[in-house]
Amino acid sequence: MRAPMTTQGAQRLRQELENLKSVKRPEVIAAIAEARAHGDLKENAEYHAAREQQGFIEGRIQELEAALSNAQLIDVGTLNAGDRVVFGATVELADEDSGDTVTYQIVGDLESDIKHARISVSAPIARALIGRHEGDVIEIDAPSGKRSYEIVSVRYIA
């Protein structure tokens, strides 16, 4: 099955991939070459750190390439689901107890980033939201106990 991904998320991942290939990979290759020039590799911490960093970079490159090639791209700007929550929606929620509001966009697993209010479609809160409408109240089992949220607004922003 192809994993859903917003077109904006795919663009961000392509930029990360390009940065890894054109900037980070050459930097770590240069660091390995410099560390090799220092001699004995057995006790060369710089060399081992650079090799480990290279492994992380190559792994991330493979992960991004696989995700992008298997993604089902969804242009959020063309979605017309009205006030119903579907993948790609930006949803404003009001906490029933405190009245505090939070806004999340529901995105694919690899593009989720809580710091930028993008939550994974497989996250419990996103699963509770999918298919609901503005005005609906949802209950989430949070670590601090059950929380109730009212869906204040549903938007589809490109």
**pLDDT single digits (tens) 63-119:** 999 999 999 998 888 877 888 999 999 999 999 888 899 999 999 998 999 999 999
- Residue 109, classed as helix, strand or coil, is coil
Question: Above pLDDT 90, what percent of the chain?
Answer: 68
CA distance 52 to 28: 10
More confidently predicted of 158 and 151 = 151
Second-level CATH architecture of 3-74: Orthogonal Bundle (1.10)
- Asked if 136 and 155 count as a contact pair (C-beta separation under 8 A), the reply is no
Q: Is the pLDDT of residue 43 over 90?
A: no
Q: What is the pLDDT of residue 6?
A: 92
CA distance 71 to 79: 17
Q: Is the pLDDT of residue 42 over 80?
A: no
- Asked if 24 and 92 count as a contact pair (C-beta separation under 8 A), the reply is no
CATH topology of domain 76-155: Chitinase A; domain 3 (3.10.50)
Q: Where are the domains of the chain?
A: 3-74, 76-155
Q: Is the pLDDT of residue 2 over 80?
A: yes
- Residue 139, classed as helix, strand or coil, is strand
**Residue 79 is encoded by which pair of tokens?**
């979605």
